[in-house]
Structures are given as structure tokens and as C-alpha cells.
Structure 1
């Protein structure tokens, strides 16, 4: 297997006791590449450390909407400076989150717009976090001309109508553990319609653990379960799904 976990948080405190073992299990399970996400003042440095320690771990850096209110003057410049690092492949995860009431909407909008602008300036793809904010997300992506750089809609939870709009802007759509859940009807229906050349898989570890481990800590080794579920939904072999999604990720993140 040549699996690519395009979105993980290996620096999360849930892995403090056994991080090296978790990474080793992923490699043993056929995961050949991972993108770790640095999304605030604490996780950006730890993400960079992981990317510099492991050849097969890449980094995305950005400011998460939940933490938008903590972004200070100079942080955008910090992100920009890190984007020249050879292991940084995207700006993210950035976006909107209307579920957790931690940052005012206007602050989230400002922080998102500034980071899309930076991505356009640096010609970097973006990784989008979108929770309960579909209408505003589409509006901002269009107004800020995000189609010029494209990116990934991480852990997609929207409708097929929303998916069509982001696909029309050149984005890839990524799915994780929820497509393995018995009652997760919408993600499965959307995945079934997303073109194979725009499809990515991820874990979002330690969150969104797939069946049959739901309720336990997620880890990157479980991306294989996501690949198996996606292959079944698409009616292709697991090997085909792995080859397609890995090639899509390599192209999307300009990894050679």
C-alpha cells in the first residue's frame, strides 16, 4: 500500500505517551506520507518539528477559525516565512467554524480572508476547515478568488450542492472516518458523486475515528479503513483507491 494521510495532528497531546509508536504503526500499515497540520501558536512549531524529523511527514501551517481571535500582528508574516520551507506544502487549516463559539464571525472572516490573500500571493494551496458555515464559506472563497490557488475541503461534511461549488473552484474534497459510520448518509452520497481525480482521504487523527474503532483515539494507520470504505462506495478496488488518492495528493500539494 502507498497510503497518504492528507490531514493529521500527530503533535496532539493525545499522542504524547506513544507518538513514535503511532508513527511506526502508520508506516507498518502502508502509510508512506502524511501532512501534519499546524493551526495556531502552539501547534505550528510542533508541526514543523515533526516535518523536519521525518522524511515522510509534511506540514501545513495556518490559523484555525476557532483560534482566530488569538491571531496577532506579525502572525501572518510568520506563516508567510514558514511557507518557504521545503516541507511546508499548504496554508491551513483555515476557514470558518460556527459550531464552537470561541471567535466572533467577523474576526473569523478577517483572518480567513487574510490567509487566502497570502496563499494567492505565495501561490500555495489552502486547506479549508468548514463547520456549519457553508454559505459564508462559499461567499468568501469566491470573493477572495481562492480558485486561483485551489486547495482541499478537509473532512467534508456539506451537501452535494456545496461540493459542486467548491469543485468548480478547483478544490479537492477530502473524506475521513465518517464515511465508515453506518448512519452517515450524506458524506457517502457526496463521495459517490465526487470525481475520482478530485478525491482525497484523511484521518484528522486523533479525531473522527473510523469504524470499528469509533470512540477510541484515531491514528494515521486507520486511513486504510477510510480507503476501504471509499473504494466500496466508488465500486473500485482498495488498491485502485489508494493509487488514485495518493496521486491526487502528490499533485495537489506539489510533492515530487
Structure 2
């Protein structure tokens, strides 16, 4: 059984064929999904999806793109929303300097708030970083020095040095369909030495469809293509990587219960 550790099932891209998308996932061997919150003002819709399906969990948080436009949240706000059994982590949060839809200072402040909430409840934080390696790492190191926390770098596309350092700090790395792209050799090189027990897979659906579906809407079923490519990069069988990545997920997201 595979786990799609990061998808956005509340997005309108799935409104017309939601049940079929779930059926496709089951047929592809994807037994568990995590639908990720990006707007705290839409948290209830995200939670509703998780509540309706035994094999779907969710998070609560504010994407760095939305850090300025969403209401400012406190650690208390986040931990209260995360009290539901179906909420297994915080985020996605982090830094995005590629688009900079929100001021950097606002992104940084919200990132730290999410980390504090994650530490408070002992849940993982889902970290988004794009064109912001140095500042992301600085905040992670600063917060780890205060008190350790758990989490993952979602949709990893950073450098090998960054990968090595975050693993050293105790975080996990989640790989998306980007790893299948022809021009993604740098990414494949970056994860080649990441220990198998620190790797997860995701779709980030509806975005970033892996080959052979690139250019089309992504969906949880396609996690299988990403897992196959990561297994190839790591030099292990698909079966071994599937088992390992699933075990990794349930170790990191301990609040999620195996079906």
C-alpha cells in the first residue's frame, strides 16, 4: 500500500469526479491520502473530506502564498483546530520567494507559528520551500535549537546540501512527480544518498503530474509512478520502497492509524 502524503482534494479540480479519483487511487494501490490545508479559512472543507473517508487524513495551516491575505493565526488557534483525530499535522507552511505573493517577513512569522504549534502537540510540520533554501534552513535550525520538532520538506526540489542538512536535523523528505521529469537529474542526484527510512512520496495533486501524465491533472493514483522512479533511483524494488515509504509515513505521522 502506498501513501499519497500531500494532495489537495478540496480543490475544484476534483469536484466533478471525486469518487472516481478515489477509486483510481485504490486501484493503483494508494491506500491512504493526506489532503493538505492551504487556507485556514477553508479548513472546515478540508476536514469534512477527511471525516467522510477512513483512509483520508488532513492538516491545518496557511500556505506561504496566503500568509498575508489569510487571518493571522496563533499557536492556540492552530492547536485547537488540530485537536480533531483526523488532523495529523500542520501546514503546508514555509517560505516561497519565487512568487512572493506575501511579504517575506509575514511568511517567516507564520512559518515559526506553525512550528511552535507542531512542537506543542508533537505533530509534524509540512514545509514548503521554493527559492528560499537559506532562510528556510536558518529558521529550521533556529527552531530546532530551541526544542526539536518533527516534519518533512514537501515536494522536495532543493539542493543535495539542503537535503543532507535537513535529514541531519531529523526531518523527512517527500518526493513528488518532478522526480520523473527528464530534466530533473539534479533532483535525482540530491536524493540518491538520502536514507530510505527518511523518504516519502506525494502527488501535490492536482499539480505536478509525473510522466507519463505530465501536462494533465494530477491525482493520488499517480503516486505509483513517483514511487517507481524513486525506487529506481535508490536501487531497490518497487515493493521494498512501497513498504519502506509507507512505514516512514506512519512513523512520522503517528496520529494517523493504519487501515
Task: Tell me if structure 2 keeps the 8 A contact 1:175–1:202.
Answer: yes
- For residues 12 and 41 of structure 2, the distance between their equivalents in structure 1, rounded to whole angstroms, comes to 11
Distance 1:49 1:213, change over 3 A: same
Q: Secondary structure at the match of 1:246?
A: helix
Structure 1: unaligned runs, 5 residues or longer: none
Offset at residue 70 of structure 1 (A): 2.1
Structure 1 SS opposite 2:128:
strand
Shift in Å at residue 81 of structure 1? Answer: 1.1
Q: Tell me the residue number matched to 2:18.
A: 19
Counterparts of 2:52 and 2:74, CA distance in 1: 24
Corresponding residue number in structure 2 for 1:5: 4
Residue of structure 2 in register with 1:142 after alignment: 141
Kept in 2, the 8 Å contact 1:31–1:221? The answer is yes
Paired residues, number: 255
**Match for residue 52 of structure 2?**
53
Listed one character per residue, the Cα deviations across residues 139-193 of structure 1 (whole Å, up to 9, x for unaligned) are 0111122871221100111111001111111100010101111111111111211
Following superposition, the deviation at residue 74 of structure 1 comes to 4.9
CA gap of 1:110–1:221, structure 2 versus 1, over 3 A, is same
Conservation of the 8 A alpha-carbon contact between 2:163 and 2:191: no
CA spacing shift, 1:173–1:74, aligned 2, 3 Å:
closer
Pairwise CA RMSD: 1.4
2: CA distance, partners of 1:174 / 1:107: 25
Which residue number in structure 2 is paired with residue 230 of structure 1?
230
CA drift at 1:39: 1.6
Q: Which 5+ residue runs of structure 2 have no aligned equivalent?
A: none
Q: 1:100 to 1:82 in 2, by over 3 A?
A: same
Give yes or no for contact 1:37–1:44 (8 Å, CA) kept in 2: no
Kept in 1, the 8 Å contact 2:74–2:113? The answer is no
Check whether the contact 2:192–2:233 (CA below 8 A) recurs between aligned residues. yes
Q: What aligned pairs does 1:185-204 form with structure 2 within 5 A after superposition?
A: 185-204=185-204
**Residue 132 of structure 1: CA displacement?**
0.5
Residue aligned with 1:215, SS: coil
Output aligned runs, 1:154-169, within 5 Å.
154-169=154-169
Q: Secondary structure at the match of 1:173?
A: strand
- 1:121 paired to 2:126: no
Kept after mapping to 2: 8 A contact 1:38/1:45: no
